[in-house]
Chain A
Amino acid sequence: MNSSTPAPTTYRILIGKPGLDGHDRGAKVIARALRDAGFEVIYSGLHQTPGALVRTAIEEDVDGIGLSILSGAHNTLMPKVVELLQEEGADDIFVFGGGVIPEDDITKLEEAGVRAIFTPGTNTSEVIDFVKRACDDKYGRGQD
């Protein structure tokens, strides 16, 4: 399905809040920045299970999922989303994350297939650039 899929006119991204923490300010800031950069952003709301997020990503046909986790449960939740995407044959959907995440964990998460991690204080334009590049790569579009 992927190789024959034409590049879309508009990129779609799911911003998800898995786990128990109720802080969605960061998620909303990123959602708005992505909208202002021309993305269609699906926002999941709080307290989502990895299963619900993966199902949502599939139904919404998003290009990538951004996970915002402030509860400290990133080491289980983020790899779980990656794993479920693989199980569903949907691992062309890239995963990135944000939160208060220590250096050591970042390395581990990246090894587990999370494409990028952004920690507090990151400029939103950096996140947008990453997402844009990841989407362009996916459809073989060069950067200019």
Chain B
Amino acid sequence: MTGELREAILKGSRRAAARLMRLIDDDAPQARATLTALMPYAGDAYILGVTGNPGSGKSTLVSRLIARFRERGDTVGCIAIDPTSPFSGGAILGDRVRMQEHAEDDGVFIRSVATRGSLGGLSRSTPAMVQVLDAMGFDTVIVETVGVGQDEVEIIRLADTSLVTLVPGLGDDIQADKAGLMEIADVFVLNKSDLPGSQHLKRRIQTMLSLHQNTDAARSAAPAIVATSATSGDGIDELFAEVEIHRRSVEEDQSRQTRLQKRHTHLIRAIARSELEARFDEHVRSDRFSQLVDDLAAGQIDPYKAASQLLSWLAE
């Protein structure tokens, strides 16, 4: 099946690509060989990450940006991530609702993904799914993270450019700072600027950035700040221009090899972590682990030794 699926995907079959993405998401053995066979074809896509608070307008913005990329003739793949319910394991994936104007565009491929217990704003499968879209030849791949409001930093390991969306009235200063989002934005998007408080939010962000800049020597350029209204379309021209500026600066500053290194690092990390977690969970469910728990209760082992024991099984 591997060869068939690979050929179909390289010929542009949406069905085959969608199927592979599902196999990847399920961590099915077939996915591995096919993904590996696609690796040589990936690496040219530009990856744009969009993160920010729940409901801040990420999907609406993504849809606007897709339209801009398309106007310029770029094809666009999109991975949109929503949270899995910890209670049922199910999910409602609703990001697409805001992007359906592109549903029938042959130059666009949108895929909704559930986090399936993964933290950090992405699913474990996201980097591999990006590879698939990349190998299919999509010029730009946009990744919308889950809007959890914190710890959404995984995206910077993957994206060439990261947008952080903020909205007025959410206790402005803390929303970015507490979430560690100040450090990761290449462009701040102050969305819902049609609502009151946008100017105030902008000033707060500027102040915070000036404080951060003093300590953050690693950042070469200060992130741009753009006010938008994704629903009306105001500010989208400016946003797209800033995205383009950042993209060009990345392409000038970093060789293709450097960008691939970053992407591949994240891919390997994601695969390894997923494998690690699966094995960890398996060992925690095992009889010998129950035995450790009993031993601890009986005072025959200390918790650190028990943990070491558990960790040693991972290497078996």
Contact = CB atoms under 8 A, between A and B. Distances in A.
Contact of B100 (A36, A56, A61): A56
Interface in A1-22: 1, 4-6, 8-10, 12
B103 A1 contact: no
A60 interface: yes
Contacts of A37: 88, 90
Given A44-B96, A52-B104, A60-B111, A34 B90 contact: yes
B97 interface: yes
B199 interface: no
Nearest to B1: A4
Interface string B107-150: 00111101010000000000000000000000000000000000
A8 B92 contact: no
Nearest to A34: B90
A130 to B, nearest CB: 16
Given A36-B85, A52-B100, A88-B15, A41 B93 contact: yes
A31 interface: yes
Interface residues of A, number: 35
A39 interface: yes
B100 A48 contact: yes
A51 B104 CA distance: 7
Contact residues on B (Cβ < 8 Å of other chain), bracket: 35 or more
B15 A35 contact: no
Given A35-B90, A35-B91, A41-B92, A58 B100 contact: no
A8 B125 CA distance: 14
Given A43-B94, A59-B111, 20 more contacts: A1-B8, A5-B19, A10-B26, A35-B92, A39-B90, A40-B91, A41-B90, A41-B92, A43-B97, A44-B96, A44-B97, A45-B94, A45-B97, A45-B100, A48-B103, A56-B100, A60-B96, A61-B15, A61-B22, A89-B15
Interface of A: 1, 4-6, 8-10, 12, 31-32, 34-45, 48-49, 51-52, 55-56, 58-61, 88-90
Interface of B: 1, 4-5, 8, 14-16, 18-19, 21-23, 25-28, 30, 84-85, 87-94, 96-98, 100, 103-104, 109-112, 114, 116
29 contacts: A1-B1, A1-B4, A6-B23, A10-B116, A31-B92, A32-B92, A35-B88, A35-B90, A36-B87, A36-B88, A38-B89, A40-B84, A42-B96, A43-B92, A43-B96, A43-B97, A44-B97, A45-B96, A45-B98, A45-B100, A48-B100, A52-B103, A56-B110, A58-B14, A59-B14, A59-B111, A60-B93, A61-B15, A61-B21
